[in-house]
């Protein structure tokens, strides 16, 4: 999270079910899974991984992803469906 009025840096990480197939999506949903398109259209960097590929489990994956290159921490908002 940030207190900047226009952070211009929104990252979204989605952990999907193991059987998820991005290639079967259509319309706007499909656009989210195309990184450059999502950045251009939605203004967000969208990353996704299937649950089985989240090394160390979901919590460890998110904990590791939260650490920026400079060692500072990203703010995390967790949303469940």
Higher pLDDT, 43 or 80: 43
Total domains present in the chain? 1
Cα–Cα dist 40/52, whole Å: 29
74 in any annotated domain = no
In this prediction, residue 7 has a pLDDT band, given cuts at 50, 70 and 90, of low
Q: What does the pLDDT read at residue 29? A: 92
Most confident of 2-6, 28-32, 62-66: 28-32
Residue 53 lies in a domain: yes
Has residue 55 got a pLDDT over 80? yes
- Asked whether residue 34 is assigned to any structural domain, the reply reads yes
Does 8 have pLDDT greater than 70? no
Give domain status of residue 14, yes or no: yes
pLDDT at site 53: 92
Q: In this structure, is residue 5 part of a structural domain?
A: no
The answer to the question of residue 70 being in a domain is: no
**Reduced to 3 states, what is the DSSP secondary structure of residue 8?**
coil
User: What is residue 77's predicted lDDT score, i.e. its pLDDT?
Assistant: 79
């Amino acid at each position: 999270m940030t207190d900047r009025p226009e952070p211009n840096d929104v990252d979204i990480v989605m952990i999907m079910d193991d059987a998820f197939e991005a290639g079967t999506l259509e319309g706007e949903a499909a656009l989210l899974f195309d990184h450059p398109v999502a950045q251009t259209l939605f203004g967000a960097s969208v990353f996704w991984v299937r649950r089985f590929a989240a090394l160390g489990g979901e919590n460890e994956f998110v904990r590791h992803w939260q650490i920026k290159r400079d060692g500072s921490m990203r703010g995390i908002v967790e949303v469940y469906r």
